[in-house]
Amino acid sequence: MTETVPSQDGLPTARRCPLDPPEELGKLRAEEPISRMAFPDGHLGWLVTSHAGVKAVLGGREFGSRADLLRAPIPLAMAAQPTEVSPGMFTAMDPPEHTRYRKLIAGWFTMRRMRQLEPRIEQIVAEHLDAMERVGGPVDLVQAFAEPVSALVISELLGVPARDQDRFLAATKALFGVHSSAEDAIAGWQGIREFLLELVAAKRADPAEDLISQLVTEGDLTDQELITIGSLLLVAGHDTSNNQLALSVHALFRHPEQLAALVADPELVPGAVEELLRYLTIVHIGSIRAALEDTELDGHRLAAGDAVSLSLSAANRDPEVFEDPDTLDITRSASSHVAFGHGVHQCVGQQLARAELRVALTALLRRFPDLRPAGDPDQVRMRTDSIIYGVHELPVTWGNHTES
């Protein structure tokens, strides 16, 4: 089959329920899991919504991530800019170029490394819980906890001084906002790069025990490559964990029986983290690939150069793989989710994300077993305007503090 009429005009993003993917995606997955989609730039490509289809594309050598072939599935300020790949931008490369960079950093994100880092994560988490307790509720969990904890943890790993964090946090917001102007987004990216340039110079002069120092001393990389890799890790490593953590707490508030089970039995936390990754799928607009050659996907003929938008959110709600997929059930085995992607570009920081989420959720609920929303959960502003989904803020309270 080679359909030429698009079923979709861009990737659907409007949600009826804030915690569920757009309804059109579920409908497509049931009726036409590999469908034609018109991209905002006019290209006629494909949209894949089934778990099997998403895994086949992400795992297939006949699909690539080369920047010159990729297109944004929704209108984005950054997409309006000419495609320019900075040296070292390995997310937009295929093997073997991609493999060379990936090998340089993968060793920093192994389970073993994460076990070593865990006491430091626990310390950062405890310091922020202490501060929350001192101030008293209500507080915004994003500002007081999720954002600083995730920023500090990735900074620690990379070797970014804590005093520099405000600079990169502001730049990240400008970069990821769907409504950021092209100027804001470019300024955001440039701000991060300038900051990284200074950091690389500082590490060359005085290397320490951190990822950037090791890349500087052992990686045989140019400054431009180092800046790009550092920026990628900083941005990807911070905005994701932050949003997954805050959105997880919001989802648990909306499912009080699941929250109560978790408070009663902290042993459930690792499984809950996996289920929350599946259920929430914060990378709700990516991923994108393109066919590198003429190929076939579940009976559909794709031509070389066809862009493919993959809905990880729809794949993670596929009833072929997950029983009763729209139910949040922290006791299910959710490990076959694709919230971290699949294949050669599968999230390099996934063990770090898991460690952060596990430590943070366990400590938060242990410290404040009666943690609850401060105010109406329906009024929480969702990050529909960002390529990483989440909540803009999450007012919470505990103990005898008033709700608002």
Binding site for ligand HEM (CB under 6 A): 90-91, 102, 154, 232-233, 236-237, 240-241, 244, 282-283, 286-287, 312, 339-341, 345, 347-349, 352-353
- Output the residue with the shortest Cβ distance to ligand HEM: 349
Closer of 116 and 404 to ligand HEM (Cβ):
116
Closer of 139 and 280 to ligand HEM (Cβ):
280
For residue 355, the minimal CB distance to ligand HEM (Å) is 9
> Rounded to whole angstroms, how far apart are CA atoms 215 and 217?
6
For residue 345, the minimal CB distance to ligand HEM (Å) is 3
Task: Identify whether the C-beta of residue 38 lies closer than 8 Å to the C-beta of residue 10.
Answer: yes
Closer of 138 and 349 to ligand HEM (Cβ):
349
> Rounded to whole angstroms, how far apart are CA atoms 337 and 316?
6
Query: Based on the number of CB atoms within 10 Å of its own CB, is 71 exposed (0-12), middle (13-18) or buried (19 or more)?
Result: middle
CA distances from 270 to 113, 255, 335, 368 (A): 18, 18, 11, 19
For residue 282, the minimal CB distance to ligand HEM (Å) is 5
CB neighbour burial string for 200-218, b if at least 16 within 10 angstroms, e if fewer: bebbeeebeebbbbbbbee
For residue 107, the minimal CB distance to ligand HEM (Å) is 13
Closer of 169 and 401 to ligand HEM (Cβ):
169
SS3 220: coil
For residue 191, the minimal CB distance to ligand HEM (Å) is 19
What single DSSP character describes residue 351?
H
Give me the residue label for tokens 């493999």. Answer: 99
Closer of 117 and 353 to ligand HEM (Cβ):
353
Closer of 312 and 371 to ligand HEM (Cβ):
312
Bridge partners, residue 8, by sequence: 37
For residue 377, the minimal CB distance to ligand HEM (Å) is 21
